Structure 1
Amino acid sequence: MKELKEFTIPFVGLKIGEHWFEFTIEKPFFEHFEYNEFNDAGVKLNVLLVKKATLLEFTLYYKGTVNVNCDVSNEPYDQKIDGQYRFVVKFGEDNNLEDEDLLVLPYGSHEVNIQQFVYESIILAVPIKKVHPGIEDGTLKSDILDKLEELRPKAKNENPEGDQIDPRWNELKKLLTDK
């Protein structure tokens, strides 16, 4: 995958210590990864780079909203996301693929691209089940919710027609309890 240049951080000229970088993440960033679950995105990203003599420590702080479709009603809404992610960059010949919080760069590297870490941390900050806040507090009105309520299974003792239950069913239910 092609690297986005704005997420490439040159660390060679930086002094040992803390360095801050700011980014704004929008929908084109996710389109670059061919991720189409977001209708829109507006996330502020602050990156803390702590440069040490033999390694680099990154902490990503992100906060904002992504517009997603509700899993229940399919209505779009803004899902707030907020979090942080830490990873370490080491230098060496061995490419360690077992630890997702460790990136090994070859000796002589002068820059690091953090786009994959940014992408994964934001995607994982979105809840697995996306439910519109209007569904939880009962303020959302939609045809889909009305139809779901209409088709909702009735309780065991609820008989919507008010008809008498066939007495043969009661005899069959006794078989389940007579063990």
Structure 2
Amino acid sequence: MKRLKEFTIPFVGLKLGKHHFEYQINNTFFEHFEYEEFNSSSVSVDVLFDKKTTLFELHFEISGTVNINCDLTNEAYNQEISNQFDIVVKFGEELNDEEIDILILPHGEYEINIQQYIYEFIVLSVPTKRVHPGVKDGTLDSEILKKLEELSPKLKENKETEEETDPRWNTLKKLLTDK
């Protein structure tokens, strides 16, 4: 994966305090990661970079839409996403990104690239089960949905079918009622 320059923040030249960065993400961004789950995407990422004397705090706010396929019907639809994430950047002996929300950079580092974090945060903002809104409210007219309803198991609604049991069990039922 190639590092994109626009996602590199050179923190050495920044003054102490808060700095704001904005990014507009579309499918060309995801092509760098060879991620092809989105048909199209329009996501806004706001990063608040708070530089302190010994550490940095990064606050990510993600909002926008991604066009994805429904897991049930394979119909494309626009999924709204919105999420927030925080990362604390500290300095240490060597690079360590094993913690979820703490990044340790080696001493002497002068910039941080946040493209991997933006990619992961956007992908994590999409629901794991992708269901078209038309499936939920019943307005989607799809051949696949009709076939799924046709093949779904039917629930027994009348009690006559429940009473149709194997006649060999009837004598055992009498034992229960004879007490």
Is there any run of 5+ residues in structure 1 with no aligned partner, and where?
159-163
Determine what percentage of the aligned residue pairs are the same residue: 55
Structure 1 counterpart SS, 2:13? coil
Cα distance in 2 between the residues matched to 1:25 and 1:123? 12
Structure 1 match to 2:77: 77
Which amino acid counterpart does residue 56 of structure 2 have in structure 1? L
Q: Does 1:109 align with 2:114?
A: no
Cα distance in 2 between the residues matched to 1:101 and 1:56? 12
Structure 1 match to 2:32: 32
> CA contact under 8 A between 2:96 and 2:105: conserved in structure 1?
no
Which amino acid counterpart does residue 12 of structure 1 have in structure 2? V
Total equivalences in the alignment: 174
Q: Does 1:93 align with 2:114?
A: no
Cα distance in 1 between the residues matched to 2:154 and 2:6? 55
Runs of 4+ in 1 over 2 A off after TM superposition: 94-98, 167-179
Which amino acid counterpart does residue 122 of structure 2 have in structure 1? I
Q: RMSD in angstroms over aligned alpha carbons?
A: 2.4
Q: Deviations over 1:39-95 (max 9, x none)?
A: 111001110000001111100111000000001111000000001110011112143
Cα distance in 2 between the residues matched to 1:157 and 1:120? 47
TM-score, normalised to structure 1's length? 0.88
Cα distance in 2 between the residues matched to 1:9 and 1:17? 14
- Measured after TM superposition, the shift of residue 112 of structure 1 is 0.2
Structure 2 counterpart SS, 1:122? helix
Query: Compared with structure 1, are the counterparts of its residues 74 and 175 closer, same or farther at alpha carbon in structure 2 (3 Å cutoff)?
Result: farther
TM-score, normalised to structure 2's length? 0.88
Is there any run of 5+ residues in structure 2 with no aligned partner, and where?
none
Cα distance in 2 between the residues matched to 1:125 and 1:89? 22
Cα distance in 1 between the residues matched to 2:95 and 2:121? 21
Structure 2 counterpart SS, 1:23? strand
Q: Does 1:152 align with 2:174?
A: no
Query: Compared with structure 1, are the counterparts of its residues 156 and 104 closer, same or farther at alpha carbon in structure 2 (3 Å cutoff)?
Result: same
Cα distance in 2 between the residues matched to 1:77 and 1:34? 21
Which amino acid counterpart does residue 106 of structure 1 have in structure 2? P
Structure 1 match to 2:167: 171
Query: Compared with structure 1, are the counterparts of its residues 175 and 73 closer, same or farther at alpha carbon in structure 2 (3 Å cutoff)?
Result: farther
Structure 2 counterpart SS, 1:110? coil
Structure 2 match to 1:161: none
Structure 2 match to 1:142: 142
